[in-house]
Amino acid sequence: MTTLPGTRRLLTTWALLMALTVLSMVSARLDADDWQALPLWSAGLVIAATGFKAQRLLMVYLNLRAATPAWKGAFVGLVLLTLTLIAGGYLAARLS
């Protein structure tokens, strides 16, 4: 059994994940009356918040912080690769 994150860390992470989700929703301008393409900075903020959420979920909820740096790097790298795909597809469509 590895060292678990502990209740305090879990609650802090949960609060952070909730805040980042709300930040994503605000960045995506869900309050706007009419549908419009996001400014690039908003899209960047959405992607950055998503990446940070995924990293926190891996490290704390899934307790990957107890693994070796190589495994941490592999999983975070895969998340970054996925986000690059998402961001790349979005940008290519936006700029085409």
For 17, phi then psi, to 5°, come to -65, -40
Q: Least Å distance between CB 14 and other proteins?
A: 4
Quote the CA–CA distance of 59 and 49 in Å, as a whole number: 15
**Tokens standing for residue 34:** 């009419």
Among residue numbers 48 through 87, which ones bind other proteins (CB under 8 A)?
A: 50, 53-54, 57-58, 60-64, 66-68, 70-71, 75, 78-79, 81-83, 85-86
Residues that bind other proteins (CB under 8 A): 1-2, 4-7, 10-11, 13-14, 17-18, 21-22, 24-25, 27-28, 30, 35-38, 43, 46-47, 50, 53-54, 57-58, 60-64, 66-68, 70-71, 75, 78-79, 81-83, 85-86, 88-90, 92-94, 96
